[in-house]
């Protein structure tokens, strides 16, 4: 009899569970970019323990590796199975994918209902920035990155050669000359492929032209401080002369051996090679440089920061859509997914867990509340270093200050509020659908004809620039600019 009852209760439970009356854990699948550090599973276990108690959900986390980002990201969305949320950002084709119907449309009402914390923490302009044709397809971060591009140089070498402090990349010539002359083992600037390629060139160009920033892709610029949203063609006068001047400076640096000969084949970034003491200038931004600064300081390099700013002393602030999450169009549990995201984006305990890992294992707090590594853990051995796990959309205002910040870095952070200005193009999302063929050709022209100019690897600057202009013309750059202008006019009417 007892056995019978037991059996019956199991049956009943099964029946209830299958009809959803007894709450089961809802499995929610998410995709982040990059690859999880070694401690990811431990953090995920801790996270799921909390999630089960708080909302009866279980997060399954997957990563789309950097090397397969371009191919796998659209594939994950196209497969459409078993994806609830995915990392989304303006720089990762948010507008393109949204137009193709990859993401679920969200409304302010939905956000208010399922993500009350995030709704409260996020200013209304963030939602405007996320709008594509008037509809919202992503949840932007409540705290955009406050970062600027910068270069770091070795203060110990600068002082050794008796040079004055450098405040601008254009003022590096004397430093580079001295390093080249006195340290045959050090390459003054050792650029890597990818991020580094355009850095010195555009740092120099910033001194010569109005405050410019890419409006779309690698070829069209806009003046980010101009309320009229004007485009700037740097390959036309009055800017062409400045462009050629900078190209000549780069060429002379390249010829003098200040820059490595083959950046395109070098997979080591300039900042990494700087931290290892193999080069004398590193490029990065004020967030990802922290690690480099602490390593360089430990090696006695006395790193000095040179902010890369426009002539006006400004840098465009990141938009809210620079980091965010989108809900997959076919997500079955989108309500629960939004609730879960509300926790990991805004709840202090959750944010610390997903961003810094488990206290005592991958981070610790000093008595005065600063972030530090637990005793016995070195930066190399940290199982869950900050930024590495890809939860970049979490609320960054909740992060404690860090014990490793150098005095120069703290000073820079104080200055940031005066440096960062609102990019006037920030709420504009270009829809490239009509000119995708032209954009493909232009991308090709940029890598073949612009990249060599920007590292200085051309024999004749005038000829190279003329070729670049001609090739852009035959790739129908004009058509892209016309389409861009039309969309800008429609957006800001």
Partner 1 sequence: MTTKILHNRQGFLFEMIRNGRLYAMFMPVAVYFLIFAYLPMTGIVVAFKDFNYQGGIWGSPWNGWDNFRYFIESGKLVQVTINTLLYNTLFLVAYLFFSILVAILISEMGSRLAKKTFQTMLFLPYFISWVTVSALVYNLFNYEYGLMNTLVKGWGMEAVDIYADPNLWPVILPFFYVWKWVGFGSVLFLASIAGQDKECHEAASIDGANIFYRIRRITLPQLKPTIIILLLLGVGRIMRGEFDMFYQLVGTNGNLIDATDIIDTLVFRSLVSTQDFGMSSAAGLYQSILCFVIILAVNGIVRRQDKSQALF
Q: Which residue has the tokens 């009417």?
A: 493
Of 30, 37, 39, 93, the residue at the interface with partner 1 (CB under 8 A) is 93
Binders of partner 1 in range 327-386 (CB under 8 A): 329
Q: Build a one-symbol-per-residue string for 276-315: x at contacts with partner 1 by CB under 8 A, - elsewhere.
A: ----------------------------------------
- Tell whether residue 80 is a contact of partner 1 (CB under 8 A): yes
Of 182, 447, 460, 482, the residue at the interface with partner 1 (CB under 8 A) is 447
Q: Build a one-symbol-per-residue string for 184-223: x at contacts with partner 1 by CB under 8 A, - elsewhere.
A: ---x--x--x-----------------------x------
User: How many of the other CB atoms lie within 10 Å of CB of 393?
Assistant: 27
- Tell whether residue 326 is a contact of partner 1 (CB under 8 A): no
In the complex with partner 1, which residue's Cβ is closer, 139 or 446? 446
- Tell whether residue 266 is a contact of partner 1 (CB under 8 A): yes
- Tell whether residue 474 is a contact of partner 1 (CB under 8 A): yes
Task: Look at residue 460 and give its three-state secondary structure.
Answer: coil
User: How many of the other CB atoms lie within 10 Å of CB of 6?
Assistant: 10
- Tell whether residue 419 is a contact of partner 1 (CB under 8 A): no
- Tell whether residue 65 is a contact of partner 1 (CB under 8 A): no
Q: Of the ranges 8-16, 200-208, 337-345, 474-482, which one interacts with partner 1 (CB under 8 A)?
A: 474-482
Read off the tokens for 204. Answer: 């120099």
In the complex with partner 1, which residue's Cβ is closer, 347 or 438? 438
- Tell whether residue 70 is a contact of partner 1 (CB under 8 A): yes
Enumerate residues 6+ apart whose C-beta is below 8 A from 10: none
CA distances (Å), origin 317, targets 90, 114, 195, 322 = 14, 29, 19, 10
Q: Of the ranges 14-22, 138-146, 281-289, 443-451, which one interacts with partner 1 (CB under 8 A)?
A: 443-451
- Tell whether residue 82 is a contact of partner 1 (CB under 8 A): no
For partner 1, how many residues bind (rule: CB under 8 A)? 46
Cis peptide bond prior to 396, omega within 30° of 0: no
Distance linking the first and last C-alpha atoms of the chain:
78
The CA distance from 478 to 488, in Å, is 15
User: How many of the other CB atoms lie within 10 Å of CB of 301?
Assistant: 22
The CA distance from 345 to 454, in Å, is 39
C-beta separation of 97 from 327 below 8 A: no
The CA distance from 98 to 138, in Å, is 9
Of the candidates 439, 441, 444, 452, which has an alpha carbon nearest to the alpha carbon of residue 197?
Answer: 452
Residue 214 C-beta: closest distance to partner 1, Å: 12
Residue 20 C-beta: closest distance to partner 1, Å: 28
In the complex with partner 1, which residue's Cβ is closer, 10 or 262? 262
- Tell whether residue 440 is a contact of partner 1 (CB under 8 A): yes
Residue 50 C-beta: closest distance to partner 1, Å: 33
Enumerate residues 6+ apart whose C-beta is below 8 A from 116: 342
The CA distance from 346 to 350, in Å, is 8
Tell me which H or E stretch contains 255.
helix 239-255
The CA distance from 64 to 56, in Å, is 26
Task: Look at residue 328 and give its three-state secondary structure.
Answer: strand
The CA distance from 435 to 413, in Å, is 40
The CA distance from 222 to 227, in Å, is 11
Residue 265 C-beta: closest distance to partner 1, Å: 5
- Tell whether residue 319 is a contact of partner 1 (CB under 8 A): no
Of 100, 245, 370, 485, the residue at the interface with partner 1 (CB under 8 A) is 100
Read off the tokens for 389. Answer: 């796990």
In the complex with partner 1, which residue's Cβ is closer, 315 or 331? 331
The residues pairing with 27 across neighbouring beta strands, listed in sequence order, are 58
- Tell whether residue 77 is a contact of partner 1 (CB under 8 A): yes
In the complex with partner 1, which residue's Cβ is closer, 299 or 441? 441
Of 27, 160, 261, 463, the residue at the interface with partner 1 (CB under 8 A) is 261
Core vs surface per residue 19-51: b (16+ CB within 10 A) or e: eeeeeeebebbbbbbbebbebbeebbeebbeeb
Of 29, 143, 206, 260, the residue at the interface with partner 1 (CB under 8 A) is 260
- Tell whether residue 116 is a contact of partner 1 (CB under 8 A): no
- Tell whether residue 168 is a contact of partner 1 (CB under 8 A): no
In the complex with partner 1, which residue's Cβ is closer, 73 or 391? 73
Residue 468 C-beta: closest distance to partner 1, Å: 10
Residue 84 C-beta: closest distance to partner 1, Å: 15
In the complex with partner 1, which residue's Cβ is closer, 44 or 187? 187
Detail the DSSP E strand segments found in 45-178: 57-64, 85-88, 131-132, 135-136, 139-140, 149-154
Binding region for partner 1 (CB under 8 A):
70-71, 73-74, 77-78, 80, 93, 96-97, 99-102, 187, 190, 193, 217, 260-262, 264-267, 329, 432-433, 436-441, 443-444, 447-452, 457, 474-476
């Amino acid at each position: 009899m007892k056995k019978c009852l037991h059996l019956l209760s199991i049956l009943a439970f099964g029946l209830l569970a299958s009809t959803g009356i007894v709450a089961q854990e809802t499995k929610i699948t998410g995709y982040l970019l990059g690859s999880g550090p070694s401690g990811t599973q431990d953090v995920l276990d801790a996270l799921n323990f909390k999630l089960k108690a708080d909302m009866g959900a279980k997060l399954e986390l997957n990563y789309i590796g950097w090397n397969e980002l371009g191919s796998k990201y659209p594939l994950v969305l196209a497969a459409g199975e078993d994806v609830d949320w995915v990392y989304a950002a303006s720089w990762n084709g948010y507008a393109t994918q949204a137009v193709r119907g990859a993401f679920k449309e969200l409304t302010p009402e939905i956000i208010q209902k399922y993500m009350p914390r995030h709704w409260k923490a996020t200013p209304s302009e963030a939602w405007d920035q996320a709008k594509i044709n008037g509809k919202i397809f992503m949840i932007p971060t409540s705290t955009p990155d406050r970062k600027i591009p910068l270069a770091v140089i070795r203060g110990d070498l600068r002082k050794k050669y008796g040079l004055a402090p450098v405040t601008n990349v254009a003022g590096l010539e004397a430093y580079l000359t001295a390093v080249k002359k006195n340290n045959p083992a050090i390459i003054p600037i050792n650029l890597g492929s990818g991020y580094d390629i355009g850095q010195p060139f555009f740092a120099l160009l910033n001194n010569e032209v109005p405050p410019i920033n890419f409006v779309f892709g690698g070829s069209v610029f806009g003046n980010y401080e101009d309320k009229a949203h004007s485009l700037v063609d740097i390959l036309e006068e009055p800017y062409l002369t400045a462009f050629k001047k900078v190209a000549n400076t780069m060429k002379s640096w390249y010829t003098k051996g200040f820059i490595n000969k083959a950046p395109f084949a070098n997979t080591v970034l300039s900042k990494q090679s700087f931290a290892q003491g193999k080069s004398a200038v590193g490029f990065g931004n004020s967030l990802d440089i922290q690690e480099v600064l602490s390593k360089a300081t430990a090696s006695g390099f006395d790193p000095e920061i040179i902010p890369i700013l426009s002539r006006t002393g400004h840098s465009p602030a990141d938009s809210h859509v620079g980091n965010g999450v989108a809900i997959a169009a076919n997500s079955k549990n989108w309500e629960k997914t939004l609730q879960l995201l509300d926790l990991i984006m805004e709840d202090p305990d959750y944010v610390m867990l997903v961003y810094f890992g488990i206290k005592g294992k991958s981070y610790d707090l000093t008595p005065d509340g600063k972030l530090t590594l637990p005793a016995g853990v070195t930066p190399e051995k940290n199982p869950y270093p900050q930024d590495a796990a890809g939860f970049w959309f979490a609320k960054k205002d909740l992060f404690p200050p860090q014990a490793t910040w150098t005095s120069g870095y703290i000073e820079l952070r104080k200055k940031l509020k005066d440096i960062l200005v609102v990019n006037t193009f920030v709420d504009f999302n270009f829809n490239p659908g009509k000119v995708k063929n032209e954009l493909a050709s232009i991308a090709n022209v940029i890598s073949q004809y612009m990249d060599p100019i920007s590292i200085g690897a051309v024999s004749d600057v005038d000829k190279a620039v003329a070729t670049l202009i001609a090739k852009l013309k035959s790739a129908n750059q004009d058509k892209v600019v016309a389409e861009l202008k039309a969309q800008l006019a429609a957006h800001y009417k």
